[in-house]
Structure 1
Amino acid sequence: MIKVIVPATTANLGPGFDTLGLALDLEASFTFTLADQFAITGCPERFCNADNLVQRAYCRLFQKLNEEPLPVRITIDSPIPPSRGLGSSSACIIAGLCGANALLNEPVSALDLLRLACELEGHPDNVTPALLGGLKAAIVDQDCLLTADFTVSDRLHWAALVPDYELETQRARQALPAAIPHAQAAGALGKLAFLLKGLETADSALLEAAMNEPLHEPYRIPLIPEYDEVRQLCRDQGAAAVMISGSGPTLLAIFLDTLPEAALSLKLKTLSHHWQLLPCRVQQEGTRIGMKEDFYE
């Protein structure tokens, strides 16, 4: 049996649109046990088929190596809510690739695993921190995958605010304009610089200045009922910054030194939708893999 543990991720972080991703200590567990045929348990029934992202990624690695996929029973134990902007699909992709690679005694490097993950996911901002941990920037430039690591202050506490409704990534993508004015793009670059320095130094003024970016949030906010109310509740409780996690609808709030979990949870109960508060810290390790010598049960 092979066990793969993958962190949740949050992407964009405001002005880091399609570039920045951060691993969170909300972790999903995936086990792979050799079997007579493929089977999937632990997730909603609509995902228990060959289109499951874990199985697709698992088979993709065998395809890359020109090998016939070995059937496995995949057991999923994931607290990462689907279609909420916390990297559930990236976790599944990384788990499938790493599970197959471990089963085959790791013939594929981490960099090649990441390239395969980008092919399956379509962009690198979530899969990179899911595999490597921490705060990462990642871009694909002329078919070359480039990554960079950034520091996040231990003083920062994170709260993922997850609503009781989903928002499909495709719908959030469709809300974006084809282009924005050059001046707005330049302003976003300045905010990105403030964000990275603010995360490194826990400077609340820089973090606040990095918000209200022009690239994606203004177009996605209308797709998130009660966005304004939740953002204001977070600010009233002292949040240094509030942003959309990934493409939403989850919101991510950053607090310095302490997280007012009880008070904020109480305030969230006054809203029409049910909002779950998930306290988070940065997960630095990335994906972890364990295995046993006897793969058969």
Structure 2
Amino acid sequence: MPAAAAFEVTVPATSANLGAGYDSFGLALDLRDEVTASLCVEPVDPVRCVEVEGEGEGSLPGDRSHLVHRIASTVLAERGLADLADRLLLHCLNRIPQSRGMGSSASAVVAGISIADALSAGAGLPEPPAAEKLAWATRFEGHPDNAAPALYGGVSVSYADAQGRPQSASIPVDPRVSAALVIPSARLDTAVARSLIPATVPHAQAAANSAVAGLFVHAISSAPELLFDATADRLHQEFRRPAMPEALARVDALRAAGLAAVVSGAGPTVLVLGTGGDLAERTAAALPGDDARVRGAQISEAGATTTALSPAPGAV
């Protein structure tokens, strides 16, 4: 079908919480989903407007209910550009494992917002400020810990300001720090994992967690030798053990080996932070006989990117 414009959006995988930073800390990883968006000249078939390749192929919807298309359509409609969504055709190349705690839904949400932003720019609307993009992403995701690094890259701490608006601040990353991921075949629904966390915890427990969260900022930015102590969580991981006993057993084994291991997001993937080019090898060695996939990773300084494939100024 003829296209008036086309562009590619890439969004990184993310890992949230990072131990003590529940619903606040997050980082971007060098594993990216890609979405090719084409704005067709005529409306497209609404039940065949999304093609999925890779993760989720054969199970994710190919109609306008697909998360990326749905987010783009919602944003466009609120900007008075609903007609553009009728002409939107997507090809999604998914590399981020889904329902594993690696931010696949945040990636899809940010991709949808980025597509809407590109189409809005083609229609002559100004580029929205970063805070507006984070507000959109938080609205759809529910909290900003994955959304912020998906948008901006790097390591971030997200919070609500005095007016309750989501905000995010970037944390510098010591160049020696890298990561390893222990990715199981099992999946876990985020809602299930969150449902196990109690509404309140003892004051002493919260105070101890606050101290570790503060230490993490120092460790990730300039003292990676402290990452083991800086990733000890007291707010959420242990409560989730019934839903992911294998993931927490991996965390236990890795920490017993001296590695700074945490549950990645809602799990069941495990994230290890550390230094040295052999971090993935040391991670695998601490889990003998485990059938989960161990993958080395780098923290990605780049967040979501948008690249024009067929510039067509004024075509929209």
| CA shift digits 1:108-151 (9 cap, x unpaired) | 33321221111111111111110111111112233322221111
Q: Contact 1:83–1:169 at 8 Å: present in 2 too? A: yes
Alpha-carbon distance between aligned partners in 1 of 2:94 and 2:136, rounded to the nearest angstrom: 22
**2:177 is the alignment partner of 1:156:** yes
Alpha-carbon distance between aligned partners in 2 of 1:68 and 1:8, rounded to the nearest angstrom: 29
Task: Specify the alignment match of 1:174 in structure 2.
Answer: 195
| CA shift digits 1:164-190 (9 cap, x unpaired) | 111100000101001101111111100
Determine which of 82, 107, 117 is the counterpart of 1:91. 107
Determine which of 20, 43, 51 is the counterpart of 1:41. 51
Alpha-carbon distance between aligned partners in 2 of 1:140 and 1:264, rounded to the nearest angstrom: 35
**2:270 is the alignment partner of 1:280:** no
Give 1:128's aligned amino acid. A
Give 2:173's aligned amino acid. V
Match of 1:4, SS state, is strand
Q: How does 1:190-209 map to 2 (within 5 A)?
A: 190-204=211-225, 206-209=226-229
Shifted more, 259-268 versus 29-38: the winner is 259-268
Structure 2 unpaired stretches of 5+: 1-5
| CA shift digits 1:65-96 (9 cap, x unpaired) | 12214221111112101111110001000101
**2:92 is the alignment partner of 1:76:** yes
Distance change (3 Å), C-alpha of 1:101 and 1:195: same
Alpha-carbon distance between aligned partners in 2 of 1:232 and 1:86, rounded to the nearest angstrom: 20
Determine which of 217, 236, 252 is the counterpart of 2:237. 217
How far off its partner does 1:55 sit? 0.9
Task: Specify the alignment match of 1:234 in structure 2.
Answer: 254
Task: Specify the alignment match of 1:59 in structure 2.
Answer: 73
Alpha-carbon distance between aligned partners in 2 of 1:161 and 1:19, rounded to the nearest angstrom: 22
Give 1:95's aligned amino acid. A
How far off its partner does 1:250 sit? 0.5
Distance change (3 Å), C-alpha of 1:40 and 1:242: same
Alpha-carbon distance between aligned partners in 2 of 1:47 and 1:109, rounded to the nearest angstrom: 31
| CA shift digits 1:17-62 (9 cap, x unpaired) | 0011111111111110123324111243332233221011101211
Q: How does 1:102-113 map to 2 (within 5 A)?
A: 102-105=118-121, 107=126, 108-113=128-133
Percent of aligned positions that are identical: 31
**2:287 is the alignment partner of 1:293:** no
Task: Specify the alignment match of 1:136 in structure 2.
Answer: 156
Match of 1:154, SS state, is coil
Match of 2:107, SS state, is helix
Alpha-carbon distance between aligned partners in 2 of 1:14 and 1:238, rounded to the nearest angstrom: 15
Match of 1:124, SS state, is coil
TM-score calculated relative to the size of structure 2: 0.86
Q: Contact 1:19–1:125 at 8 Å: present in 2 too? A: yes
Q: How many residues align?
A: 292
How far off its partner does 1:253 sit? 0.7
Alpha-carbon distance between aligned partners in 2 of 1:110 and 1:146, rounded to the nearest angstrom: 10
How far off its partner does 1:260 sit? 4.0
Q: How does 1:117-128 map to 2 (within 5 A)?
A: 117-128=137-148
Structure 1 unpaired stretches of 5+: none
Q: Contact 2:254–2:286 at 8 Å: present in 1 too? A: no
Match of 1:98, SS state, is helix
TM-score calculated relative to the size of structure 1: 0.91
Q: Contact 1:6–1:94 at 8 Å: present in 2 too? A: yes
What is the RMSD computed on CA atoms of the aligned residues? 2.1
Shifted more, 76-85 versus 60-69: the winner is 60-69
Q: Contact 2:212–2:231 at 8 Å: present in 1 too? A: yes
Task: Specify the alignment match of 1:251 in structure 2.
Answer: 270
